[in-house]
Structure 1
Amino acid sequence: MEAGIVGLPNVGKSTLFNALTCSKAAQSENYPFCTIEPNEGIVAVPDERLERITKYIVPKKIIPTSLKLVDIAGIVKGASEGEGLGNKFLSHIRQVDAIVQVVRCFDDPDVIHVSGQVDPVTDIEIIETELMLADIQTLENAFSKAERTARSGDKEAKLRMSVIEKCNAHLAQDLPLRTLTLTEPELASISSFGLMTAKPILYVANVSETDLEGKDPLVAKVREHVANSGAEVVCVCAKLESELAELDEPDRSEMLAELGLDEPALNQIARGTYRTLGLESYFTAGEKEVRAWPIPAGATAPQAAGVIHSDFERGFIRAEVYTLEDLETYKSEKDIRQAGKLRVEGKSYVMKDGDICHFLFNV
């Protein structure tokens, strides 16, 4: 699963990406951030539950989950028609699973806004419009192909035509496809199209160093604009975060304390992106390692086991499950078992966020 960071020029997108993927605080065995290519990076997802588990189960390693971020080429008005790096921009967005849009919510005469004035809602609308126009073009091309195939009586092609018409009607109302409810078969029929407005989105309000809590009217406009979309808004000062990312742990902690912050805002972005991707975590815990594993919300126990290794899912027998609260109450796995709190779950069990598990399998 990966997310693409998008934004207009001069909104702080690349500054934020570089801070996320180059943080000195994360460059350790336990928190592996790294840059894969100039525009791609792996970012750990901080989770305080890992530290709580290790108070009772002391491992050699602590391994958080991670996600892949892509710094996508900046967009300009007309990208859907090939303006600027439009085609490259759009092709990269089609490949990611979620969008992280950075919007500028600060004034700075030294950093010229591409539109001449700072208006984050207009920024959001420009990108949304370009993505809608590109989706309409994709759907129109796909409809012609589906129509030809449907003449032979192909049921899948007929369904695809119906879904395309439904999507086009929704887009015609200036509504992104992520707000359109489709059935599983309908979603499957258009899954190969890479429709961009169907992807979940997280908005990052890039604020000034004097507005770390996001109280500026510009941020309020963003929150109001996306209030009914179900999307999350995270506030961050990219300039400040880039400075924090360069510091070693003692200096970073000192600077955070001076600012009255518990953690870098980058952590909030990582967790927000994780939620936007529809992911949850379960844990495995032992002397070798305490590790968080990513699963889609609603995953079954065999599917969760398959994240570790495909053999675990194929040969799944059962899962032994307990909660962090159980561990904090009984202090050890042995005592959890003796208290009868260790649950045995089968193939139909739907995982809960934060479950601590052992999987039994036979291949």
Structure 2
Amino acid sequence: MEAGIVGLPNVGKSTLFNALTSAGIASENYPFCTIEPNVGAVPVPDPRLETIQSFIKTQKVIPAILQLVDIAGIVRGASEGEGLGNQFLTHIRNVDAILHVVRCFDDPDIIHVEGSVDPIRDIETIDTELMLADLQSVEQQIHKAQKNARTGDKDAKRKVEILQECHDRLAAGTPVRGLVYDDPASAKILRELQLLTSKSVLYIANVEEDDLLGEGELVKRVRERAAAEQGEVVAVCARLEAELSELDEADRAEMLESVGLTEPALASLARAAYKLLGLQSYFTAGEKEVRAWTIPVGATAPQAAGVIHTDFEKGFIRCETYSVDDLVALHTEKAIREAGKMRVEGKAYVMRDGDVCHFLFN
């Protein structure tokens, strides 16, 4: 699962990406790798890992990982080939959600491509380019779908209907992400269209150091916009986060305290992005490692086991699980078992966020 970072040029997008992927919010035990120049793996901070390790001593603590793609800056006219044009479209189509960086600071030394700072105008510029690109895609796909529908193919007929609904929304200047189908077949068709504006969006308000909590007027306007879309906003000072990412743990803690923060804003950003993608974590704990595993919300126990190894899913027998709260209350797995808190779950069990699991398999 990937999230793509988008935004106009000079909004702090690349600074933010570099700070996130520097692994500055991770401890030395966190695995980190840069996959390509514009793709990075980011640890998702989770205090439950430290809680588990305080009771089950292990050699390593391994967090969940979020994959980010730094997409080239989008400019007005990009859907018509301006700037990097189709290159950014391809990258956005391949991600599962969008992190939209919006400039909410004024700095005469950093020129804004539009000549002034206006976050709502900037959001609308990006949305317009994505909608225009989607409109082109829908118009291209609808002719082929109509041809297939004439043969009596029911799926093709439904696809034509969905494409027409998408076309009507886009032509009216409305993103596709507000279009939701309850029946799985229609939802699958919409998903397979890979429309840019169908993806969930998290707004990242890039603020100045004197507005770290995002209480300024520019951020308020972004929050109002996000609320109207049932979206969320995370305020981040990319410049400060870049500095924090280069410090060792002691200096980082001192700097955070000096600016009134308890953790880097990138930590809350990583968690918000993880949630946006519809992901959750479960844990395994043993002598070698305590580890968070990433699964979609709604995953069953066999599917969760398959994340560790495909053979675990194929040969799944049952799952023994308990909560982190059980561990805090009773201190050991032995005590959890004796207290009857160790649950035995079968193939139909739907995983809960924060389950601590042992899988039994053939």
TM-score w.r.t. length of structure 1 = 0.97
Q: SS at 1:210's partner residue?
A: helix
Residue number in structure 1 paired with 2:9: 9
Residue number in structure 2 paired with 1:209: 209
Deviation at 1:299, TM superposition (A): 1.0
1:128 aligned onto 2:118: no
Q: Deviations over 1:17-70 (max 9, x none)?
A: 011111445362x22233221111110100000001111111111000001111
1:251 aligned onto 2:251: yes
1:338 aligned onto 2:338: yes
Deviation at 1:155, TM superposition (A): 1.9
State how far apart, in whole Å, the 2-side matches of 1:267 and 1:19 are: 11
For the structure 1 residues 258 and 15, does the alpha-carbon distance in structure 2 shift closer, same or farther, using more than 3 Å as the test? same
Q: Is the 8 A contact 2:135 2:167 kept in 1?
A: yes
State how far apart, in whole Å, the 2-side matches of 1:260 and 1:308 are: 39
State how far apart, in whole Å, the 2-side matches of 1:212 and 1:236 are: 7
Q: Is the 8 A contact 2:23 2:43 kept in 1?
A: no
Letter in 2 for 1:309: H
Q: SS at 2:256's partner residue?
A: helix
1:81-230 equivalences in 2 (<5 Å): 81-182=80-181, 183-230=183-230
C-alpha RMSD over aligned residues = 1.2
Letter in 2 for 1:335: A
Q: Deviations over 1:300-320 (max 9, x none)?
A: 111111111111111111111
Runs of 4+ in structure 1 deviating by more than 4 angstroms, as ranges, are: none
State how far apart, in whole Å, the 1-side matches of 2:152 and 2:191 are: 21
State how far apart, in whole Å, the 2-side matches of 1:303 and 1:207 are: 40
State how far apart, in whole Å, the 1-side matches of 2:115 and 2:89 are: 24
Percent identity reads: 63
Q: Deviations over 1:276-319 (max 9, x none)?
A: 11101111111111100111111111111111111111111111
Q: SS at 1:114's partner residue?
A: coil
Deviation at 1:229, TM superposition (A): 1.6
Deviation at 1:150, TM superposition (A): 1.5
Deviation at 1:191, TM superposition (A): 3.1
Q: SS at 1:50's partner residue?
A: helix
Deviation at 1:193, TM superposition (A): 2.6
Letter in 2 for 1:273: A
State how far apart, in whole Å, the 1-side matches of 2:299 and 2:283 are: 14
Residue number in structure 1 paired with 2:329: 329
Aligned residues, how many? 361
Q: Is the 8 A contact 1:32 1:43 kept in 2?
A: no
State how far apart, in whole Å, the 1-side matches of 2:189 and 2:204 are: 32
Residue number in structure 2 paired with 1:61: 60
Q: Is the 8 A contact 2:180 2:187 kept in 1?
A: no
Residue number in structure 1 paired with 2:290: 290
Deviation at 1:173, TM superposition (A): 3.2
Q: Is the 8 A contact 1:25 1:248 kept in 2?
A: no
Residue number in structure 2 paired with 1:241: 241
Q: SS at 2:210's partner residue?
A: coil
Ranges in structure 2 where 5+ consecutive residues have no aligned partner: none
Deviates more, 1:271-280 or 1:147-156: 147-156
Q: SS at 1:223's partner residue?
A: helix
Deviation at 1:126, TM superposition (A): 0.6
State how far apart, in whole Å, the 2-side matches of 1:355 and 1:171 are: 41
Q: Is the 8 A contact 1:321 1:345 kept in 2?
A: yes
Ranges in structure 1 where 5+ consecutive residues have no aligned partner: none
State how far apart, in whole Å, the 2-side matches of 1:170 and 1:297 are: 29
Deviation at 1:76, TM superposition (A): 0.5
Q: Is the 8 A contact 1:27 1:33 kept in 2?
A: no
State how far apart, in whole Å, the 2-side matches of 1:3 and 1:122 are: 23
State how far apart, in whole Å, the 2-side matches of 1:71 and 1:339 are: 49
Residue number in structure 2 paired with 1:319: 319
Q: SS at 2:54's partner residue?
A: coil
Letter in 2 for 1:45: V
Q: Is the 8 A contact 1:25 1:247 kept in 2?
A: no
Q: Is the 8 A contact 2:102 2:203 kept in 1?
A: yes
Q: Deviations over 1:121-158 (max 9, x none)?
A: 11111101111111111111111111111222222211
State how far apart, in whole Å, the 1-side matches of 2:44 and 2:224 are: 27
State how far apart, in whole Å, the 2-side matches of 1:216 and 1:250 are: 30
Q: Is the 8 A contact 1:6 1:13 kept in 2?
A: yes
1:264 aligned onto 2:264: yes
State how far apart, in whole Å, the 1-side matches of 2:275 and 2:139 are: 32
TM-score w.r.t. length of structure 2 = 0.97
